[in-house]
Amino acid sequence: MQVAVWDTYVTKKNGAIMHFDIIVPSAITDSNVIYSYGKEYLTTKGQEEQNLHSEACRFCHIEYVKPHWEVSIKQKGYFIYEMENCE
């Protein structure tokens, strides 16, 4: 399966910048769907009120799914790859 990687930066309530990728099946191209996944993730991190928009979340590239991503994608429709300040 090919997946699309959306590079995302969100300013947390404390001012730190969260950096994470939203990884979805490549057939999903509607940015509103991608943003809804990002907002769902932000809620799990206590950052539900933070802004996620086109300047903060952009398509980056296509790649082949990694096995540990696939489980989440099959369950929720997406996988979040945390990179910076996501604790």
CA 77/CA 37 separation, integer angstroms: 8
Q: Does the residue 1 lie in any domain?
A: no
3-state secondary structure of 68: helix
Residue 45's CATH number = 3.10.510.10
What are the tens digits of pLDDT across the range 61-87?
999 999 999 999 999 999 999 999 999
* Whole-number pLDDT of residue 53: 81
Q: Does the residue 2 lie in any domain?
A: no
What are the tens digits of pLDDT across the range 10-65?
999 999 999 999 999 999 999 999 999 999 999 999 999 998 888 889 999 999 99
Q: Does the residue 72 lie in any domain?
A: yes
Q: Does the residue 37 lie in any domain?
A: yes
